[in-house]
Amino acid sequence: MRDDIIAVFVLIFGRAPEQFGDDTAPANVEGWDSVRHVELVVALEERFGCMFEPDEVPELTSLARIEDILRRHG
């Protein structure tokens, strides 16, 4: 799952996969603003075939949290 999430990050932020890790967060990824976050949410939903709950959307701000939430969606 982690590789698939990183693939989405590569697509959205246009950086090499090795640049994304546990410390990936809006504060240390250039361009991760509100608009880019929308693109990230939609791309994750399309990739994993799920729909995030409203309360989950602002929580999708690190690879670990994204992985946790996606696992809850099965």
Partner 1 sequence: MPIAPLEPSSPPAVFDFLERHVSARGRAHWEWKYQLDGEGPARAFYHTGADGTVGGFVGTLPTTLHAPAQHARAAWFVDWATRPGEGSVGVGVALLRRAEAATDVLLTLQGSVDTQKILPKLRWNVVETPATWILRVSPRAIVTRGLLRRHPWLRALALLPGALVARNRRVTRVRSSPFALEEVERFPASYDARWEVRRPEFAPLMDRSSAQLNFLYADFPEGGYRRFLVREGADVVGHLVLRLDRKEDARRGRIIDALWPRARTGAVEWLVREACEILQERGVDYIECTASVADLERALGACRFARLRPVPVWYHRLPDGMATPDTWFITYLDCDRAYR
What is the binding site for partner 1 (CB under 8 A)? 26-27, 32-35, 37-39, 41-42, 52-61
CB nearer to partner 1: pick between 34 and 71: 34
CB 25 → partner 1: shortest distance, Å?
Answer: 8
Q: What share of the chain is helix, strand, coil (3-state, %, to 5)?
A: 65, 0, 35
Residues 6+ apart with CB under 8 A from 24: 9, 62, 63
CB nearer to partner 1: pick between 16 and 35: 35
CB 65 → partner 1: shortest distance, Å?
Answer: 11
